[in-house]
Amino acid sequence: MHYNYKYRLDPPGALTETRHHHVDTCRQLYNHVLYKLNEGDEIPARYKVQDTLPDLKEWWDDLNGIHSKVLQMVVKRVYDNLATLKAQKENGRAVGMLKWKPPREYRSLTYNQSGFELKNTSGRPVLWLSKLGEIPIHLPRDLPENATIKQVTVKQEATGEWFATFGIDMDETTPEKPANPEKCVGIDVGVLKYAHDTDGTAVASLDLSDESERVERAQRNLSRKEHGSANWVKQQQVVAERHAELKRKRRDFLHKLSNYYATEYHLVAVEDLDAKGLVELPGNSRNRAGAAWGTFLQMLEYKCEQEGTHFVAVDPKDTTKECASCGVKTDKPLWVREHSCPSCGFEADRDANAAWNILSRGLEDLGVVHSESMPVETALPTDTNSVSAKRVVEAGSPALKERTAKAVSE
């Protein structure tokens, strides 16, 4: 299994300058390779371009100071971007051509297979990189003992901080998923309530209004500075730090919420949402983008894989309209937050009804028969246990566990 672990670096000043030089040289190589590919009528295979690197070093002296694997990964980066562009074009998107990278858009170096080592020097962990040397690294959590580091990407964020991302392979077997899962849950995501599940738990959306206001205030201050001046550069750093703070808080919330569902249940059913398409729809797009549903579902999927939990993404069509009790469809505008079936009279929260439809479809897709203790027709909860997003962030997933345990005991 492949995972990424990200750690903060603390490079000394002299080493930072050297690294900046390496990054800029790789940026120039990226632009050179792209220029050569645009010159020809056909694009050669990537390995043929990589084979030209030794000849290139004969007249480009700066390349000799950079590890060979790093240079090869620059070529791979060009080809990966071309493949992404081609895929978007095949999907009907209007795309142009790859452009040369300016300095602000190229900030990373990638070591693949060799040229790096995680060491302990004088009791302090350091990351050794070929042609660069040893860089102090912060390791709040150790890498797993059975992990093999395959790749290291060193990147400077917009805030000016440097990070190392380790691509590791784990020598472990994936936990076996239960053939007949007992603890099953369906989750409906939204804006007013971030997640509403079939156990009657509703998690409020994370309130980042203060952080968003700070970002906007910093951006307004930036717009008043003369572009390129010392004050403009300083304020640009402030804007980057505000954005990073907002992003960290959102990802912390999503990690804790997805971890709860992946570890507490044997089967998790969600809607197969086109998150990007939903953001592009007119009206309330800012809130939909801030919800980061796509990121949440990605986190939930890989954590379910780690825990041996079934992850099922179902067709989202009409999950809100269908009655979870009898299946009759009822149109309801977005502002109507209650489901009331005109056929069978069943009433429930709009999101709770959708969550039960999602679970029912997930069980059907997986071929699992409803157990006697939890048939959809009889186990529809009418009470909702609300959990604030603040509790999830401050206390982690145990906040959900406490609320769920209390509801079960009652």
Closest Cα partner for 109 from 132, 80, 126?
132
Instruction: Considering only residues 135 and 393, tell me which one the structure prediction assigns the higher pLDDT.
Output: 135
Using a cut of 0.85, tell me whether the model's pTM lies above it. Answer: no
Return the pLDDT at 135.
92
Structure confidence by residue, pLDDT tens digits, 167-191: 998 766 677 888 888 889 999 888 7
Q: Are 127 and 116 in contact (CB under 8 A)?
A: yes
In the predicted model, what is the mean pLDDT of residues 247-273?
90
Q: Are 18 and 145 in contact (CB under 8 A)?
A: no
Instruction: Considering only residues 161 and 403, tell me which one the structure prediction assigns the higher pLDDT.
Output: 161
Q: Give me the residues paired with residue 153 across strands.
A: 110, 165
Return the pLDDT at 94.
79
What is the Cα–Cα distance from 60 to 45, expressed in whole angstroms? 22
Q: Give me the residues paired with residue 339 across strands.
A: 348
73 — phi, psi (to 5°)?
A: -70, -25
Q: Is the dihedral of CA 15, 18, 22, 27 positive or negative?
A: positive
Q: Are 397 and 257 in contact (CB under 8 A)?
A: yes
Radius of gyration of the chain (CA): 25
Among 82-96, 247-261, 385-399, the minimum mean pLDDT is found in 385-399
* 136-to-16, 133, 250, 290 alpha-carbon distances in Å: 12, 10, 28, 34
Residue 310: helix, strand or coil by DSSP? Answer: strand
Q: Which residues contact 369 (CB under 8 A, 6 or more apart)?
A: 363
* 339-to-187, 244, 316, 334, 358 alpha-carbon distances in Å: 16, 39, 17, 11, 15
- 378 has a pLDDT exceeding 60: no
Whole-number average pLDDT of the chain: 83
Residue 40 — left, alpha, or beta (φ > 0 → left; ψ -120 to 50 → alpha)?
Answer: beta
- Other Cβ atoms less than 10 A from the Cβ of 189: the count is 23
Return the pLDDT at 56.
94
Return the pLDDT at 372.
40
8-state DSSP, 177: P
- 192 has a pLDDT exceeding 80: no
Q: Could you tell me how many residues make up the chain? A: 410
For the beta sheet containing 162-170, the strands, ordered from the edge strand earlier in sequence to the opposite edge, are: 2-9, 162-170, 147-156, 108-112
Return the pLDDT at 377.
43
Return the pLDDT at 369.
60
What is the Cα–Cα distance from 126 to 138, expressed in whole angstroms? 8
- 389 has a pLDDT exceeding 80: no
Q: Which residues contact 63 (CB under 8 A, 6 or more apart)?
A: 25, 29, 53, 56, 57, 71
Structure confidence by residue, pLDDT tens digits, 1-44: 788 889 999 988 778 889 999 999 999 999 999 999 988 778 89
8-state DSSP, 42: S
Return the pLDDT at 81.
93
What is the Cα–Cα distance from 208 to 285, expressed in whole angstroms? 16
Could you tell me the two tokens for 254? Answer: 């999503």
Structure confidence by residue, pLDDT tens digits, 279-299: 554 455 555 555 678 888 889
What is the Cα–Cα distance from 316 to 361, expressed in whole angstroms? 10
Could you tell me the two tokens for 28? Answer: 């120039």
Residue 222: helix, strand or coil by DSSP? Answer: helix
Q: Give me the residues paired with residue 347 across strands.
A: 340
224 — phi, psi (to 5°)?
A: -90, -10
